[in-house]
Amino acid sequence: MRTITLIVIHCSAVEPDQTSSVAQIDTWHRDRGFKFGVGYHYVVRRNGEIEAGRPEWLVGAHCVNHNKYSIGVCYEGGLNARGQPADTRTAAQKASLRKLLEILHRRYPRASIVGHHDLNPQKACPCIDNVAKEYADLQPK
């Protein structure tokens, strides 16, 4: 069993008129050479549906140098209609993302919840101002 110390939030970097299901991301990642396809463990769709990606026991491919000990969670969106980084989460996504993070926090109580940009400042992803603050109540005590 892997030791999980991070839950990393991502966005799929698509505009409001574009979609990004696990199946679509799997294709994109395979096209980029990802051996096991979709690099995220979960994808939260705009309608709030949570899709399972990689199984949690399998190392993800979502955050260089941090995959071995993390779970990757991606929300559909992250770009506004002009293609600029923006927090585009719908109310349904926010509710489902919180629900998923609550489940993961119970499963991995010592894991810190961070945004991709917290680990790689060159990234705008997940386009959420302060992930740690937003989910302060789910951080390790």
Residue 53 has a CB neighbour count (10 Å cut-off) of 25
Domain spans, the chain: 6-135
Phi, psi of 43 (to 5 degrees): -130, 130
Active site residue 40: yes
**C-alpha 73: how far from its chain's center?**
2
pTM for the whole thing? Answer: 0.96
Whether 116 is a known active-site residue: answer yes
pLDDT digits (tens, 9 = 90+) for 55-94: 999 999 999 999 999 999 999 999 999 999 999 999 999 9
Q: Which two tokens stand for residue 59?
A: 């190392």
* Partners of residue 120 on adjacent β-strands: none
Q: Tell me which of 3.40.50.620, 3.40.80.10, 3.30.70.260, 3.40.50.880 is the CATH number of domain 6-135.
A: 3.40.80.10
User: Under DSSP, is residue 14 helix (H, G, I), strand (E, B) or coil?
Assistant: strand
Of 40, 42, 75, 108, which residue is the catalytic one? 40
Report d(CA 65, CA 134) in Å as an integer.
24
Query: What number of other Cβ atoms are within 10 A of residue 42's Cβ?
Result: 25
- Which of the residues 29, 41, 105, 116 is marked catalytic? 116
What confidence category does residue 130 fall into, taking pLDDT thresholds of 50, 70 and 90? very high
